[in-house]
Amino acid sequence: MNIIEVRNLLKSYPQPGNKNESFNAVDGITFNIKVGEVYGILGPNGAGKTTTLEMLEGLNDIDGGSALIDGLDVSSNAFKVKEIIGVQLQANEYFDRLDLTELLILFGKLYSQEIDSENLLKKVDLFDKSKAKPEELSGGQKQRFSIACALVNNPKILFLDEPTTGLDPQAKRNLWNLVKELNAAGMTIVLTTHNMEEAENLCHRIAIMDQGKLVAEDTPLGLIQKYASEPLQVPLHGNIEDVFLALTGHKLRD
């Protein structure tokens, strides 16, 4: 059963330096995401990954095509969609005088919900930081707290936009474990990432975008077998990084 259905999704912007012409940042992509799936969207910088997520989240207007979230049309039901999704962004700003517990309670109020801040902080392994301010947290702790904020409404779908960028290996693995735990509890998760190991370890299926188009979609193993079965420097078969390079022709960037 699909919980997200995307058909011919389109987003256009004026060409830099020439407002009379436009380009498609997202160019008519189509895909489905199943209930309980971890679905990854990969692509080089400028491929349209974040723009795609923003349209699904109701944060950016859809210029063409359609997107259904749990049967709701995002264009006409953006507010209802936001009630059932959680969104962890690449960067977050908080009220700097509030501690983590107070911030979670505040976000809960925005959804008219009384939340269990203690349970949320335990879920992301931050209970011992309940009275800390966000600026007192490490990079990994800030990422985990941003996910706690995205969980205040107990969402059906969690969107993660490059959740481990800039994290050290231990913090990255801790966040991977959190994603796996949330998914094991039944949550559908959609993530973008530049980390090929991350995609291969977390995702049930992966879509690869380039220049606004969806150029491939399959399980990690299916992509490897199709596009990187005989890499030059790996004995048995390639990995998702090899698939990415084979499909996009771009070197990986930070």
**Could you report the per-residue pLDDT of 81-122, keeping only the tens digit for each?**
999 999 987 666 677 789 999 999 998 888 888 889 999 999
Any idea what the CATH number is for the domain that residue 99 is in?
Answer: 3.40.50.300
Specify if 253 maps to a domain. no
Q: Which among 8-22, 60-74, 218-232, 240-254 has the top mean pLDDT?
A: 60-74
In percent, the amount of the chain with pLDDT more than 90 equals 61
How far apart CA 220 and CA 207 sit, in angstroms, is 10
DSSP string, 37-77: -EEEEE-STTSSHHHHHHHHTTSS---EEEEEETTEETTT-
Answer whether 207's CB lies under 8 Å from 43's CB: no
Domain with 100, as residue range(s), is 2-248
Residue 253: predicted pLDDT: 42
Specify if 254 maps to a domain. no
Residue 254: predicted pLDDT: 37
Q: What's the structural domain count of the chain?
A: 1
When pLDDT is averaged across residues 192-221 and rounded to a whole number, the result is: 94
How far apart CA 15 and CA 77 sit, in angstroms, is 30
Specify if 173 maps to a domain. yes
Specify if 133 maps to a domain. yes
